């Protein structure tokens, strides 16, 4: 059996060996998926180069003989209804979400537009991060309590924003990190969306967004950072 990944929904699939070089529809989203032998398998058999006469080509699409594999597990199961989220590229905020019934909103020159009605404006590939802005109530009042970053799939991930609130979590590939440009864009977004008292009184978050640590996935100073019900389930 050959394991492949749907380029659209990132579903993991199993396909029979005899289908190598052909294309089959993903059972989940119906996107054509090219059945190709993994590069690691080519390298183990032929070295670093791939033989040209065995390069896969597309063929007629057939729905049968391909099966779904379980979704890759992620610590993030759904968006926390108490948090706010942003999607950033290398230097700007692309989309925002909060639990107000409006769904994901795209940031454009004309203002914020619903992603559900503007799927054509969503980039199909690139380096994107999903950032969670954890909020909480303390003795000092309403505050930003954490900034956590998740790495998104490089292809087709943002199309999930048009399908509802939570589908984007299926595109998370693991913990992410924020570059200098991303931290700057995030700082500007936070200043635009929140009063100074919400974010400036938490030195750990302030320092994280201004320092040169471009590898950590974030900082969380919530008193209940390890809470098991952070997703608002139940």
Helices then strands, each counted (H, E), the chain: 4, 14
d(CA 192, CA 198): 12
Each residue's pLDDT, cut to its tens digit, for the chain (234 residues) gives 777 777 777 777 888 877 776 778 888 777 777 777 554 443 443 344 433 333 333 333 333 344 444 444 456 789 999 999 999 998 899 999 999 999 999 998 889 999 999 999 999 999 999 999 999 877 767 789 999 999 999 999 999 999 999 999 999 999 999 999 999 999 999 989 888 888 877 888 888 988 888 888 999 887 444 443 333 443
In the chain, where the domains are located: 2-68, 84-220
> pTM for the whole thing?
0.64
What separation, in Å, do the N-terminal and C-terminal C-alpha atoms of the chain show? 39
């Amino acid at each position: 059996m050959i394991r492949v990944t749907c380029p659209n929904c990132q579903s993991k699939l199993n396909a029979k060996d005899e289908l190598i070089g052909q294309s089959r529809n993903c059972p989940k989203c119906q996107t054509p998926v090219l059945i190709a032998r993994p590069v690691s398998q080519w390298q183990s058999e032929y070295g670093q180069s791939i033989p040209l006469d065995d390069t896969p080509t597309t063929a007629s699409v057939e729905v049968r003989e391909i099966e779904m594999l379980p979704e890759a597990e992620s610590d993030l199961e759904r968006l926390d209804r108490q948090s706010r989220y942003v999607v950033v590229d290398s230097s700007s905020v692309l989309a925002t979400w909060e639990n107000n019934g409006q769904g994901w909103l795209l940031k454009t020159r004309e203002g914020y537009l619903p992603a559900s009605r503007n799927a054509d404006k969503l980039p199909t590939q690139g380096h994107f991060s999903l950032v969670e802005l954890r909020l909480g109530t303390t003795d000092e009042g309403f505050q930003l309590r954490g900034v956590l970053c998740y790495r998104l799939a490089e292809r087709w991930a943002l199309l999930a924003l048009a399908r509802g609130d939570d589908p984007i979590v299926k595109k998370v590939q693991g913990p992410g990190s924020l570059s200098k440009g991303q931290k700057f864009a995030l700082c500007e977004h936070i200043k635009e969306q929140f009063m100074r008292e919400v974010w400036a009184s938490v030195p750990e978050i302030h320092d994280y967004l201004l320092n040169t640590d471009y590898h950590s996935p974030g900082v969380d100073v919530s008193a209940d950072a390890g809470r098991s019900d952070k997703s608002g389930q139940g």
